[in-house]
């Protein structure tokens, strides 16, 4: 049945069937990347949460392994929820996760591999003294979850970690200190709090280098770093981050700019994306970000197709040392191994109002890089103050200097298409402001799927061209602007622009700007995610 298979991705991670949500405990061990995830073994909707487990040599080609942990103890019988791994200096692996107890109380539990010598880490032991943490006084029984990776305290031998929560409508992150991961002390105060942001799920806290595009171990605390604090807001289901300074003696973190604090400023991804988590890859000295792409169709449709959710291509994450205000996210280099043959190269002048097809053999699996040079006419920006991707009408709304970009997962007649575009407008400060958007309004002829226009502003510095990278994979479009300063992931449900019928186009729907576009497109192979039994053939 075509309906059941056409949305399956070819090189994004997804289980064979049923429901998946948050990434959990990613780590690198003895030559293998390990990926765990929230999984319902029984159905394509959330429930019975179990830890799925997969391994890969390269973060792209995966093998499914047996479940790492199932809900079988009083302290996690209602779900083995989200958690993080910490690798200790002696090589031990500590997994801390949230359990939903027999009484639906959120507690933190400890687990560890039965055999560290096993590169596949097949067997996980739940600590006999679980739970190791219960909600502290003043914290709701259901507002205490998702422990982070631990980092070294300046107090020798001690570790610190943080857990998201809320007090009334203020999102907070509690800090705990431990030496052995079985006994913990709640520290006074909080790492950070932001009024009005509600429950903080899946907090992530890590250092980034202000000097070079390198990754840092979570415990790194040396000159030349900033700390990123990320929270997934339960109230609006988006991941927000801010860049700031960590004081390890008081265990507080302060945003560089309080106006773009956690939950009120920048998002990791402006599309369908949630519950992200990073880990330090000691193999390649980089920090890698995973994120969950949920569905935007109906639950009934998910049950019919028998599966729900995909994970993004893992992304490296570094501080943008040109702006210092944004992170840069970029698909791991290993994804480029799926590029097949020579890229299609196109150079074209796009006159206002033009749509130009690009000829590639198959357009459902692509890696696209595009550069746009715009003939700028500052005066014509008058009309465009207050542009906003989500509320300005999408790619059909014409302005002097936008939109221009690409149409992906489009059919020949342009009845289905997903525009990914830039729109240069005038900011409230009178200066040019660039918006980067993905318009799903016409992405599907189905009427029961999400059709929002996603996006936000993206800094474009003096002398930079407008650049985008787009990963297309059947029903997923991951779009990166300006090297990953602004990122948008779209979950789409084409009904006509599938398989051989999918096309890609360049477009310029601005009324005045003439745009010179250069595009490089690779067709992408499949990652062929394999069952456990195949792993012995390596
Ligand atoms: N998903 C988990 C929770 C977490 C939420 C449960 C975020 O631990 O807070 O499946 O999507």
Please state the domain count of the chain.
2
The model's confidence at residue 428, banded by pLDDT at 50, 70 and 90, is: confident
User: Shortest CA distance to 84 belongs to which of 290, 334, 329?
Assistant: 290
The pLDDT of residue 2: 46
318 lies in the same domain as 360: no
Same-domain pairing of 277 and 348: no
Strands 192-194 and 238-247: unpaired
- 294 and 413 together in one domain: no
Q: Which two tokens stand for residue 469?
A: 């990278």
Residue 2 in domain: no
Is 521 buried (19+), middle (13-18) or exposed (0-12) by CB count in 10 A? buried
Flag whether 531 is in a domain.
no
Model confidence band, residue 383 (pLDDT cutoffs 50, 70, 90): low
Measured from the CB, is residue 20 less than 6 Å from ligand 1?
no
Structure tokens at 132: 């190791």
Residues making up the chain, counted from first to last: 538
Specify if 529 maps to a domain.
Answer: no
Distance from C-alpha of 143 to C-alpha of 187, rounded to nearest angstrom: 18
Task: Please say which residue of 333, 367, 397 terminates a domain.
Answer: 333
The preferred substitution site among 18, 19, 37, 38 for testing ligand 1, maximizing ligand atoms within 8 Å of CB, is 38
CA atoms of 106 and 82, how far apart (whole Å): 11
Phi, psi of 338 (to 5 degrees): -85, -10
My answer on whether 259 and 364 are in the same domain is no
Please check whether residue 7 lies inside any domain of the structure: no
Q: Looking at the structure, do residues 351 and 314 belong to the same domain, yes or no?
A: no
Residue 90 annotated in active site: no
Contact assessment for residue 444 and residue 422, using Cβ atoms and an 8 Å cutoff: no
With cut-offs at 50, 70 and 90, classify the pLDDT of residue 429. Answer: confident
Cβ of 202 closer than 6 Å to ligand 1, yes or no, is: yes
Closest CA to 473 of 2, 11, 141: 11
Q: What is the pLDDT of residues 170-215, one digit of tens each?
A: 999 999 999 999 999 999 999 999 999 999 999 999 999 999 999 9
CA of 297 to the centre of ligand 1 (A): 20
Shortest-distance atom of ligand 1 to CA 98: 8
CATH of the domain at 259: 2.115.10.20
pLDDT at 430 (0 to 100): 84
Q: Tokens 């799926």 appear where? A: 338
φ, ψ (nearest 5 deg) of residue 19: -85, 140
3-class DSSP assignment, residue 183: coil
Asked, for residue 537, whether it belongs to a domain, the answer is no
Cα 267 to middle of ligand 1, angstroms: 18
Q: Which atom of ligand 1 is nearest to the CA of 274?
A: 11
Our answer on whether the CB atom of 22 is closer than 6 Å to any ligand 1 atom is: yes
Average pLDDT over residues 245-269: 98
257 and 391 part of one domain = no
Same domain, 316 and 407: no
Q: Is residue 5 part of a domain?
A: no
Give the residue from 276, 309, 333 where a domain finishes: 333
Residues 312 and 367 reside in one and the same domain: no
Whichever domain contains 354, its CATH number is: 2.60.120.560
**317 and 348 in one domain?**
no
Pair (267, 380) in one structural domain: no
Q: How far is ligand 1, taken at its centre, from the CA of residue 166, in Å?
A: 15
The answer, yes or no, to whether any atom of ligand 1 lies below 6 A from the CB of 145, is yes
Locate the DSSP E strands across 224-331. Answer: 225-233, 238-247, 252-255, 266-267, 274-281, 286-293, 307-308, 310-311, 315-319, 327-331
Residues 144-156: pLDDT tens digits? 999 999 999 999 9
Strands 476-481 and 466-473: antiparallel
Same domain, yes or no, for 308 and 354?
no
ipTM, two decimals: 0.99
Is residue 360 included in any domain, yes or no?
yes
Whether 81 lines ligand 1, by a CB cut-off of 6 Å, is: yes
The verdict on residue 12 lying in a domain is: no
At which of 288, 318, 333 does a domain end? 333
Whether residue 449 contacts residue 425, with contact meaning beta carbons closer than 8 Å, is answered with no
- Is 422 a residue whose pLDDT tops 60? yes
295 lines ligand 1 (CB under 6 A): no
Banded model confidence at residue 376, pLDDT cuts 50, 70, 90: low
Domain that holds residue 139: 20-333
Q: Are residues 275 and 359 in the same domain?
A: no
Neighbours of 385 (CB within 10 A): 12
pLDDT of 466 over the 80 cut: yes
């Amino acid at each position: 049945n075509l309906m059941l298979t056409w949305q399956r991705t070819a090189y994004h991670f997804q289980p064979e069937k049923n429901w998946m949500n948050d990434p959990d405990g990613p780590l690198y061990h003895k030559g293998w990347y390990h990926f765990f995830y929230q999984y319902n073994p029984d159905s394509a909707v959330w429930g019975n949460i179990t830890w799925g487990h997969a391994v890969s040599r390269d973060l792209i080609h995966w093998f499914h392994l047996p479940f790492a942990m199932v809900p079988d103890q009083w302290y996690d019988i209602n779900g083995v929820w989200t958690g993080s791994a910490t690798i200790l200096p002696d090589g031990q692996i500590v997994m801390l996760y949230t359990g939903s107890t027999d009484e639906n109380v959120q507690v933190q539990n400890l687990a560890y591999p039965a055999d560290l010598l096993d590169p596949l880490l097949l067997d996980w032991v739940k600590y006999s003294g679980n739970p190791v943490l219960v909600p502290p006084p003043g914290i709701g029984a259901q507002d205490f979850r998702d422990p982070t990776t631990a980092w070294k305290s300046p107090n020798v031998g001690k570790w610190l970690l943080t857990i998201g929560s809320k007090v009334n409508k203020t999102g907070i992150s509690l800090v705990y200190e431990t030496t052995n991961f079985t006994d913990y002390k709640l520290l006074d105060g909080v790492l950070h709090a932001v009024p009005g942001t509600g429950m903080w799920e899946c907090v992530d806290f890590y250092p980034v280098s202000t000097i070079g595009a390198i990754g840092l171990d979570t415990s790194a605390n040396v000159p030349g770093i900033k700390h990123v604090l990320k929270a997934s807001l339960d109230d609006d289901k988006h991941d927000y981050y801010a860049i700031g300074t960590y004081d390890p003696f008081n265990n507080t973190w302060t945003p560089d700019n309080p106006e773009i604090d956690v939950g009120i400023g920048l998002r990791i991804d402006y599309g369908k994306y949630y519950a992200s988590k990073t880990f330090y890859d000691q193999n390649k000295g980089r920090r890698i970000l995973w994120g969950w792409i949920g569905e935007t169709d109906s639950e009934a449709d998910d049950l019919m197709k028998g599966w729900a959710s995909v994970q993004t291509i893992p992304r490296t994450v570094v501080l943008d040392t040109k702006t210092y205000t944004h992170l840069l996210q970029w698909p791991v280099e290993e994804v480029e191994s799926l590029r097949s043959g020579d890229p299609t190269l196109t150079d074209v002048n796009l006159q206002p109002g033009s749509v130009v097809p690009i000829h590639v053999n198959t357009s459902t699996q692509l890696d696209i890089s595009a550069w746009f040079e715009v003939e700028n006419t500052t005066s014509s920006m008058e009309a465009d103050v207050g542009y906003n991707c989500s509320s300005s009408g999408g790619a059909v709304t014409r302005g002097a200097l936008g939109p221009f970009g690409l149409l992906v997962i489009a059919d020949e007649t342009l009845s289905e298409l997903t525009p990914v575009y830039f729109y240069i407008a005038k900011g409230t400060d009178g200066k040019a402001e660039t918006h980067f958007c993905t318009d799903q309004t016409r992405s599907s002829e189905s009427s029961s799927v999400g059709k929002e226009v996603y996006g936000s502003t993206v800094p474009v510095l003096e002398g930079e061209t407008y650049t985008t990278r787009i990963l297309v994979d059947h029903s997923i479009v991951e779009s990166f602007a300006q090297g990953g300063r602004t990122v948008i992931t779209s979950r789409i449900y084409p009904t006509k622009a599938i398989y051989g019928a999918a096309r890609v186009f360049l477009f310029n729907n601005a009324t005045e700007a003439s745009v010179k576009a250069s595009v490089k497109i690779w067709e992408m192979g499949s990652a062929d995610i394999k069952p456990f039994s195949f792993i012995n053939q390596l």
